[in-house]
Structure 1
Amino acid sequence: MCGIAGVWRKRDPIGAGDLSDIARMMQVLAHRGPDDHDSWNSARLALGHRRLAIIDPSPAAREPMLTTDGQGVLCYNGEVYNYRSLRKSLEAEGREFRTVSDTEVVLQALHHWGAEKAVPLFDGMFAFAYFDQRDGALWLARDRLGIKPISVADTGERLLFASEDKAILACQDFPRRVDAREITLRLAWQSRDSSYSIFEGVERLPPAGLWKISDGGIEKRRFWHVLDVLETSRIVNDRTSDAGQLAALQALLEESVELHCIADASLATACSGGVDSGLITALAKRHRPEMHGYVVDPKLGRSEAENAERTGRHVGVDLRRVPVDRNQFFELWPRAVWHLESDGWHASIAGLLALADQCRADGVKVLLTGEGSDELFGGYKWQASTMRLWRPPWLRHLFRSKSARERKFAQLRRAPFRNSIGRGSPWDRNIVLRALSPELNFLQTKLFDRLDGVSPDSDRAFLASCFYDLYSHLQDLLHRHDRLSMAASVELRVPFLENRLIDFAMHLPRRHKYRNRTSKWLLKKVAERHLPRENISAAKNGFEMSGAFSAGTQGLLRGGFLRDAMKWSASELDDLIDLAKNQEPSRLRLVGMEMLLRLYMGSETMGNLTEALHAEFSGAK
């Protein structure tokens, strides 16, 4: 896991200013790669790399890495877990290797097969820049579900790119401005963090982005999307028995966890006590018998530590508690906002950052987690509640005319999920979509239509809701986990998001995801072989931290940065402060956004904001 930075000159050659910008970007990204750093440049391109050494920590695996003929250059962040099988294929075609790293395999694959053929073969998480000097093309790419990030800015004369927005902001003369539309979208609870920057002029590659940059400009492509790869017939025609699906899922999970345990560094798991992280912990123990786990232990409100320790005892893994009290929360919250480059909106960000800090203090570089399971296997309440929209009472349905039923179907199709934006009249919904985020909200209908043939319609809507969450809710989670784990120089891995597991889960019928009012039905059947029954049957809680942590901090909004950006009047601000006082989600959004603007636009320090949070809390008591 690493940090990458680059400058691409469109006309003039690379100069001293460009190299200084590379140095600035690398300094800003030091937390992503404290083990090593290096840079490289040619006539048009300069690259910088910060290294967190996980696989093959030898100096031979340093980046930017060049092919033996010097014609291919790679600057890479991530892990491609199937690198050993790819290496065998490349060796069979005559390629020779100098290291045992996955980096060299990625480089050789790109150089030998070409980016368009090689990238879809990569099974893992990655963001990279690859320069092919044979035709002068620069390729930027991101893994299929956007686990690893890459940001880009086109300044007219140059193309700047880096692992995080803040590195681009550090470049000389780059204007530091926020986008009011992006602030609005976040305050309106749109899922934006992974693919959209809050800073004007900064763009992020979308999941599965594959961009080719050359003298002809930028060709923006994607090499994978659910809409492109979904085979509805596999779902409709699936007749596999429960036992058959259970065996298949068990095998896929074991193989994925084994791949994700590959590391020449210490490894642990985040174990919350739930099914997902518990199952990953149980399976990883087989390959890393020496490993331990972590659980965040909030000192206000509910803690999952007891449930997590029950899992630990059951599978033979020592669980270490990471306590978080209010004083720590006030120290962690501004740091988390700085690293997220967004408002953060969820109190758990402080817990995750505390967990990553503890990992680093204990010498742990790799952390396994259970993200992605709920999206793939149907674990959220709103996915199940969507089914009820499509199940009208039988008596009312019986006496409704065919034309009325068709009108109702058309209305539901435009907003097919329980959490769809603008539920109500089609006119109201169109207004909302124009004002907010059409690229995401119209995806709901496209996914529902793509599942034409799945019946009943309630199953169709449920599956579409799961797929939609891969591009909405999961994107926020992945962004949060990358930024906060890397803030402490820890690599966070997500074994559920392995290529074959994704494909398997995508093509499961609803009955294997939600059955008898049980979410993640098939996954829980696998978990029964490994985890305490109490933990499997427990209600899903998610990673929550009490609203008491942020209570009393709403007065920070009087600092005025967010008010000025949104052009609120004094009376409107008073109303919003009152709202934030009484509603924790609004408080986290609004205060988090105020802190973000102070950090990036007001040049306030994280320490100053911690003091301000303490002062507001004391004054509100």
Structure 2
Amino acid sequence: MCGIAGVWRKRDPIGGGDIADVARMMQALVHRGPDDHASWNDRRLALGHRRLSIIDLSAQAREPMLTACGQGVLVYNGEVYNYRSLRDTLRAEGRRFRTASDTEVVLEALHHWGPDQAIPMFDGMFAIAYFDARADALWLARDRLGIKPMSVAEMGERILFASEDKAILACDGVERTIDAREITLRLAWQSRDSCSSLFQGIERLPPAALWKISDAGVEKRCFWHVLDVLDTARIVGDTATDAEHMARLEALIEDSVGLHCIADTSLAAACSGGVDSGLVTTLAKRFRPEMTAYVVDPRIGHSEADDAQRTASHAHVPLNRVPVDKDRFLDLWPKTIWHLESDGWHASHVCLLALAEQCRADGFKVLLTGEGADELFGGYDWQEASLKLWRPWSWPGRLFRSRNKLARRFERQRHAPFRTAIGFAHGWDRNAVLRALSPELNFLQARIFDRLEPVTPLGDRAFLGCCLHDMYSHLQDLLNRHDRLSMAASVELRVPFLENRLIDFAIHLPRRHKYRQKQGKWLLKKVAEKHIPVQNVKARKNGFQVSANFTTGTETLLNGGFLRDAMKWPASSVADLVDLARRDQPSRLRLVGMELFLRLHAGGQSAGQLSEALHAAVAEAR
């Protein structure tokens, strides 16, 4: 929806330099809100806002927004979809409204109930900066799964915050220093982009963050975590029939899609050939008869366009194919990395930007997608593999192993309970040691597994735990890149599967409703069979694929590049790394992507210059 920025002064009053910095931050975020902009300041706080107008397009709904008494001020990025019901409750308690916007509801809720009570009630995606002059306190918050981003930097007497790192870097006196440790972790395939910055001194709020900034300092806490809300008794005691769960899930999805279709502007859907986006597209048609859909259609390699067309035709939704060939890919790759503020390690990143740009060119500001379903409902092969790790404890496997031996092995394996665990040594994981440098996610695995102790058998416990852990690992990467690349084209991406009631329903489903008969997302697919072609429901899951031919030859940029210097690679090793990148596409995307990041941010080169360098490298390799 928007871009937000601010400067908080710890002691001295806000000055001209702070106001100028807010203006610089807003300029750096113009892509997030090209429709309008405004700023506000008092003695210790300056706020800025870039607006992408979606709900209540009037000037009255612009931000920063103040309460009628002038004691509450808000800048906010995102959408709170249950704002209408919240507004009714607030009206019943005597609050009055001047606009039809969700922004005013969020502001009034925060000011009337206080952030501690109000924020857990918000159902949607948001990054919020709310100032309560009555307490002289600034509150920063992020939605429970981190759909919308916020970066923070404490610089001496100031605290700077904004929707993206690049806005903070635009402030006077902020050094653009790359963190070599973060480069290492990303090269080790870590899920870090949502919560960690590649720039020293910049911190990103974690999912469900609720920070209070006042004269007492910065109080950091979270208002929601799956370990706190998980009720294992609901899982173990689940006696609902398949039909009852199907009806409940179908009603929840349909209601969520309806909420996500609320907008005073046109909407579209990203419709791949898969179950999740196809179901969202089909249901959205009920609420927005004019619904149209988009799919990326690579000119080389695997394309989902024909499968997407099958779903779109079934739903009577027009499908727009967005072509991406090698030239288009190389043109957009540096721009993708600029907006991601990271290495852009997967080819789908570039294709998402191409899709978002086409949506915006066609006049669409909102794009619905199916992200989150695989994590919540068990759609990944590594979740299934986590179940299989615990076969020695299942019947009849445990008959052939001694009880003591199984007990000793259990104590070892509970610290690495999932297929993605670091401590579980597998040949496929080439970076296990490096991943151990990032303990916050790795130790969370054991805590989740222990929290699920009442769940039996152990394979079920591991499967469900892996799904929960993916909400804090794999899903964070997806949400981070989708927000940044859609907003790069001034398009808001909405994720109906990550609605509060759907999250609660999914995390409390037993394994049998997620994985059954060697099929992931079993319950969700049963619902989908009623709405999309069965051929698409039963198709084997394929990750987004782009031909390796798109980037072949670009590995030569690693010769004499910035990544070599940042990582202190000896000259004798560079040739081997270039050869690795030549032979292996994932390594090439990761290494060349990080080289492009460093050239953009440490070398001062433009995205256009780097596109030319990529084209030249590919031409020379032919």
Q: How does 1:207-286 map to 2 (within 5 A)?
A: 207-286=207-286
Q: Residues of 2 paired with 1:202 and 1:410: CA distance?
A: 38
Q: Residues of 1 paired with 2:430 and 2:413: CA distance?
A: 12
Q: Residues of 2 paired with 1:434 and 1:72: CA distance?
A: 43
Q: Residues of 2 paired with 1:249 and 1:504: CA distance?
A: 8
Q: How does 1:353-392 map to 2 (within 5 A)?
A: 353-392=353-392
CA deviation string 1:189-229 (max 9, x = no partner): 11000011010000000000000000000000100000110
Q: Residues of 2 paired with 1:223 and 1:296: CA distance?
A: 37
Does the CA-based 8 Å contact 2:416-2:446 persist in structure 1?
yes
Moved more, 366-375 or 569-578: 569-578
Aligned to 2:474: 473
Give the SS at the match of 2:404. Answer: helix
The code of the aligned residue for 2:606 comes to T
Moved more, 391-400 or 146-155: 391-400
Shift of 1:395: 6.7
Q: How does 1:29-108 map to 2 (within 5 A)?
A: 29-108=29-108
Aligned to 1:25: 25
Q: Residues of 2 paired with 1:485 and 1:166: CA distance?
A: 16
Does the CA-based 8 Å contact 2:301-2:547 persist in structure 1?
yes
Does the CA-based 8 Å contact 2:415-2:423 persist in structure 1?
no
Shift of 1:575: 1.1
Shift of 1:296: 0.2
Give the SS at the match of 1:354. Answer: helix
Moved more, 397-406 or 10-19: 397-406
Q: Residues of 1 paired with 2:353 and 2:184: CA distance?
A: 26
Shift of 1:409: 0.8
Q: Residues of 1 paired with 2:250 and 2:495: CA distance?
A: 16
Report the CA distance shift for 1:2/1:559 in structure 2 as closer, same or farther (over 3 A): farther
Shift of 1:394: 5.9
Shift of 1:19: 0.6
Report the CA distance shift for 1:434/1:578 in structure 2 as closer, same or farther (over 3 A): closer
Does the CA-based 8 Å contact 2:8-2:45 persist in structure 1?
yes
Q: Residues of 1 paired with 2:162 and 2:560: CA distance?
A: 31
Shift of 1:435: 4.8
The code of the aligned residue for 1:4 comes to I
Shift of 1:560: 1.8
Shift of 1:139: 0.1
Shift of 1:397: 3.1
Q: Residues of 2 paired with 1:80 and 1:599: CA distance?
A: 35
CA deviation string 1:560-590 (max 9, x = no partner): 2111111001111111111111111111110
Q: How does 1:506-585 map to 2 (within 5 A)?
A: 506-585=507-586
CA deviation string 1:514-573 (max 9, x = no partner): 000011000000001000011001000122222221111100111421111110011111
Does the CA-based 8 Å contact 1:90-1:109 persist in structure 2?
yes
Q: Residues of 1 paired with 2:521 and 2:88: CA distance?
A: 36
Shift of 1:373: 0.2
Q: Residues of 1 paired with 2:432 and 2:371: CA distance?
A: 34
Does the CA-based 8 Å contact 2:422-2:435 persist in structure 1?
no
Determine whether 1:199 maps to 2:183.
Answer: no
The code of the aligned residue for 1:606 comes to A
Aligned to 1:458: 459
Give the SS at the match of 1:607. Answer: helix
Does the CA-based 8 Å contact 1:433-1:441 persist in structure 2?
no
Does the CA-based 8 Å contact 2:425-2:432 persist in structure 1?
no
Give the SS at the match of 1:519. Answer: coil
Shift of 1:619: 1.4
Aligned to 1:413: 414
Q: Residues of 2 paired with 1:86 and 1:275: CA distance?
A: 32
Q: Residues of 1 paired with 2:288 and 2:425: CA distance?
A: 52
Shift of 1:99: 0.1
Give the SS at the match of 2:156. Answer: coil
The code of the aligned residue for 2:485 comes to L
Q: Residues of 2 paired with 1:106 and 1:468: CA distance?
A: 30
The code of the aligned residue for 2:355 comes to L
Aligned to 2:607: 606
Q: Residues of 2 paired with 1:462 and 1:510: CA distance?
A: 7
Aligned to 1:595: 596
Aligned to 1:487: 488
Q: CA RMSD in A?
A: 1.5
Give the SS at the match of 2:138. Answer: strand
Shift of 1:401: 2.0
Q: Residues of 2 paired with 1:290 and 1:318: CA distance?
A: 9
Q: Residues of 2 paired with 1:250 and 1:394: CA distance?
A: 34
Identity, % of aligned pairs?
A: 71
* Runs of 4+ residues over 4 Å off in structure 1: 393-396, 428-431
Give the SS at the match of 2:559. Answer: helix
Aligned to 1:137: 137
Shift of 1:432: 3.4
Give the SS at the match of 2:391. Answer: coil
CA deviation string 1:443-477 (max 9, x = no partner): 00000000011000000000000000000000000
Gapped regions of structure 1 (runs ≥ 5): none
Q: Residues of 1 paired with 2:563 and 2:280: CA distance?
A: 41
Determine whether 1:401 maps to 2:395.
Answer: no
Q: Residues of 1 paired with 2:348 and 2:295: CA distance?
A: 12
Q: Residues of 1 paired with 2:100 and 2:258: CA distance?
A: 18
Determine whether 1:287 maps to 2:318.
Answer: no
Aligned to 1:317: 317
Q: Residues of 2 paired with 1:126 and 1:424: CA distance?
A: 38
Does the CA-based 8 Å contact 1:54-1:264 persist in structure 2?
yes
Q: Residues of 2 paired with 1:581 and 1:231: CA distance?
A: 49
Q: Residues of 2 paired with 1:535 and 1:345: CA distance?
A: 28
Q: How does 1:8-19 map to 2 (within 5 A)?
A: 8-19=8-19
What is the aligned residue count? Answer: 619
Moved more, 394-403 or 353-362: 394-403
Aligned to 2:162: 162
Give the SS at the match of 1:515. Answer: coil
Q: Residues of 2 paired with 1:559 and 1:597: CA distance?
A: 13
Shift of 1:109: 0.1
Give the SS at the match of 2:38. Answer: strand
Shift of 1:433: 7.6
Does the CA-based 8 Å contact 1:272-1:543 persist in structure 2?
no
Q: Residues of 2 paired with 1:541 and 1:253: CA distance?
A: 23
Shift of 1:399: 3.5
Give the SS at the match of 2:453. Answer: coil
Aligned to 1:186: 186
Q: Residues of 2 paired with 1:329 and 1:434: CA distance?
A: 30
CA deviation string 1:152-190 (max 9, x = no partner): 000121000000000000000101101111100000011
Aligned to 2:153: 153
The TM-score normalised by the length of structure 1 is: 0.98
Shift of 1:400: 2.2
Give the SS at the match of 1:302. Answer: coil
Q: Residues of 2 paired with 1:403 and 1:186: CA distance?
A: 40
Q: Residues of 2 paired with 1:340 and 1:542: CA distance?
A: 20
Shift of 1:429: 13
CA deviation string 1:115-152 (max 9, x = no partner): 00000000000001000000100000000000000000
Give the SS at the match of 2:471. Answer: helix
